[in-house]
C-alpha cells in the first residue's frame, strides 16, 4: 500500500488501509499526486492515472436471492432496475410483466405496484425505479416520457409527462427532477443528450449540459430513418449525490462535473489518461456501422450514500435474444470522492444497480434455465473503504 499521513487507521479486513482525506482547502494526503487549479472560478481537480490507494477488492457475499420458477410474485421477465429504500425493502422493475415487485429485507413478498395498461398507476414497459424525493416516494419511468409517483405504501399519486423523451431521471426534494433528455434532428440526423432540470409538472426549468450522442443514423430509401447502436456511443451519464447534488460526465472526455442543489458547478474532476482504441475483433463486430477510432472513457456512473462516485470503465453488456442486454462480466470501476480525488479501482457485480447500507443490489440472468434473479450482496469491508471525510 502507498504511504499515507497519520490520519488513518488500519483494519483487519483484507489488510485494507482505510484512510479518509480531509478536503479543507485541498487534498491533505501525501500519496495524492494530482493538483487543484481554478478555471472560471470553479475548482478543478486534476488526477494522475494512479489512484491514491492501490486496487481494492470488495469482499462480496451474496446474502439474498429473489426469483423462483412458478411463483407468480417472484418469476421475473426482463428485469431492468433494482432499488432499495431506507428500510431495506427491495423494488424490482419487472419490465415485461409491467410491474414493480416489492420485497422486504428478508426476501418476503410485500406488494405489487402497477399493472399493464395506459391508465393511472398502469405501465407500458417500465424501465427505471427510483426511491427518493419528498417522503421517500416511489418513482417509476415508463414510455421513456412519463414518471409515475406512488407513496411509500405503493398507492398511486399522479403521473408526469415530460416535454421530451428521456433516458434517466433523479427526483429532488422539491418534487422536481433532473433528467437526461433526448433531442433529435431528423434533418441533420443528429441526437443530443441534454441534462435538464424539470419541475413537478414536467416543464423545463433549465438545461444544465448538452452533448452529442453518437448514435449511427441513416435515411432509408422510403424516407424513414434507421439507427444502429454498438453500445460504445459517446453519451452523457449522471447520478445523484447526497444533499440533492448531481454528478455528470460525457464519455468522450474523462471529466466529471459535480453540481450542488442550486445546479451550480462545485467541482470539475479530471483524470490523466489516453482514450483506449478498439481492437480488430471489436471493429469486426460493428459490421456495416462506421467504426470510430477510439472507445468511450466510461459506460456509466453510480454513486453511494457516502458520496463516492463509481465510474464504470468496461463494456460488459451484450444482447441476448429473449432477454435483451445481459452483463457478462464484472463492472470495472474507478472510484472518486465527491470532492474529486481518484481514490481506488475496484469491481462491482455485472448488473449492479444500487449501492447503500453496506450492500450492492444486482440481478442475474440464467439463460439455460430461462430465469432471472435479483441479488443482494453484503460488502464485508464496506465500512473500511476510503471516503473524503474525517472519521
- Contact indicator for 246, 240 with CB cutoff of 8 Å: yes
Sheet with 79-84, edge to edge strand ranges: 79-84, 90-94, 99-103, 109-113
Q: How far apart (Å, rounded) are the C-alpha atoms in residues 189 and 172?
A: 33
**Is 102 contained in some domain?**
yes
Q: What share of the chain is helix, strand, coil (3-state, %, to 5)?
A: 5, 45, 50
| pLDDT at residue number 279 | 87
The torsion defined by the Cα of 294, 328, 192 and 40, in degrees rounded to 10, comes to: -70
What's the half-sphere exposure (Cβ side, CA atoms, 13 Å) at 298?
Answer: 26
- Rg, the chain, Cα only: 21
DSSP assignments along 245-294, one per residue: EEEEEETTSSEEEEE-TTS-EEEEEEE--PPPBPPHHHHHHTTTSPPPSB
In-domain check, residue 145: yes
Closest listed residue to residue 96, CA positions, set 380, 372, 299, 342: 372
**CA 301/CA 348 separation, integer angstroms:** 12
Three cell numbers, residue 283: 471493429
User: Looking at residue 351, what is its pLDDT?
Assistant: 95
**157/150 Cα distance (integer angstroms):** 5
Count of positions (residues) in the chain: 391
Q: Which helix (H) or strand (E) segment is 158 a member of?
A: strand 156-161
Rounded to 5°, angle at Cα 75 from 73 and 80 = 100
DSSP string, 13-44: STT-EE-----SSS---TT---EEEEETTEEE
d(CA 100, CA 109): 11
Whether residue 105 lies inside any domain: the answer is yes
Positions of the chain with pLDDT lower than 50, given as ranges: 1-30, 389-391
In this structure, are residues 375 and 359 in contact, taking their beta carbons and an 8 Å threshold?
A: no
Instruction: Please give the grid coordinates belonging to residue 237.
Output: 451519464
| 30 belongs to a structural domain | no
Q: Which of 388, 198, 196, 208 has its CA nearest to residue 304?
A: 388
Q: What is the total count of domains within the chain?
A: 1
> 73 lies in a domain?
yes
Structural domain containing residue 139? 67-161
Where residue 142 sits, what CATH number does that domain have?
Answer: 2.40.10.500
Question: What residues are paired with 53 via a beta bridge?
Answer: none
> Which residues, other chains included, contact 155 with Cβ-Cβ below 8 Å and sequence gap of 6+?
none
In a 3-state reduction of DSSP, which class is residue 326? strand
pLDDT value of residue 136: 86
Q: Is residue 339 part of a domain?
A: no
Amino acid at each position: 500500500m502507498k504511504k499515507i499521513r497519520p490520519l488513518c487507521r488500519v483494519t483487519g479486513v483484507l489488510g485494507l488501509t482505510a484512510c479518509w482525506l480531509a478536503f479543507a482547502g485541498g487534498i491533505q494526503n501525501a500519496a495524492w499526486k494530482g493538483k487543484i487549479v481554478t478555471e472560471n472560478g470553479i475548482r478543478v481537480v486534476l488526477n494522475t492515472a494512479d489512484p491514491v490507494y492501490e486496487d481494492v477488492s470488495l469482499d462480496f457475499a451474496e446474502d439474498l436471492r429473489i426469483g423462483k420458477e412458478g411463483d407468480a410474485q417472484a418469476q421475473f421477465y426482463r428485469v431492468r432496475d433494482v432499488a432499495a429504500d431506507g428500510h431495506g425493502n427491495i423494488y424490482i422493475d419487472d419490465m415485461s410483466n409491467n410491474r414493480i415487485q416489492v420485497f422486504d429485507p428478508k426476501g418476503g413478498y410485500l406488494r405489487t405496484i402497477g399493472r399493464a395498461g395506459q391508465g393511472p398507476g398502469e405501465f407500458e414497459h417500465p424501465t427505471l425505479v427510483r426511491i427518493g424525493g419528498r417522503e421517500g416516494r416511489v418513482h417509476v419511468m415508463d414510455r421513456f416520457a412519463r414518471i409515475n409517483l406512488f407513496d411509500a405504501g405503493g398507492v398511486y399519486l399522479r403521473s408526469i409527462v415530460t416535454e421530451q423523451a428521456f433516458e434517466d431521471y433523479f427526483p429532488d426534494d422539491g418534487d422536481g427532477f433532473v433528467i437526461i433528455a433526448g433531442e433529435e434532428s431528423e434533418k441533420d440526423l443528429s441526437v443530443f443528450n441534454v441534462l435538464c432540470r424539470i419541475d413537478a409538472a414536467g416543464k423545463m426549468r433549465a438545461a444544465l449540459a448538452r452533448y452529442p450522442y453518437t448514435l449511427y443514423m441513416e435515411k432509408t430509401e422510403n424516407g424513414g430513418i434507421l439507427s444502429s447502436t454498438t453500445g460504445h456511443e459517446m453519451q452523457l451519464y449522471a447520478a445523484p449525490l447526497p444533499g440533492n447534488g448531481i454528478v455528470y460526465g460525457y464519455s468522450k472526455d474523462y471529466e466529471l462535473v459535480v453540481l450542488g442543489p442550486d445546479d451550480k458547478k462545485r467541482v470539475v474532476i479530471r483524470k490523466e489518461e489516453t482514450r483506449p482504441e478498439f481492437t480488430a475483433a471489436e471493429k469486426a463486430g460493428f459490421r456495416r456501422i462506421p467504426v470510430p477510432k477510439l472507445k468511450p472513457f466510461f459506460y456509466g456512473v453510480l454513486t453511494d450514500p457516502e458520496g463516492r462516485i463509481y465510474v464504470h470503465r468496461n463494456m460488459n453488456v451484450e444482447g441476448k435474444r429473449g432477454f435483451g442486454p445481459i452483463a457478462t462480466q464484472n463492472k470495472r470501476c474507478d472510484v472518486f470522492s465527491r470532492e474529486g480525488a481518484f481514490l481506488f479501482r475496484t469491481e462491482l457485480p455485472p448488473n449492479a444497480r444500487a449501492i447503500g447500507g453496506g450492500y450492492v443490489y444486482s440481478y442475474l440472468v440464467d439463460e439455460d434455465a430461462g430465469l432471472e434473479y435479483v441479488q443482494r450482496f453484503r460488502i464485508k469491508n464496506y465500512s473500511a473503504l476510503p471516503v473524503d471525510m474525517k472519521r
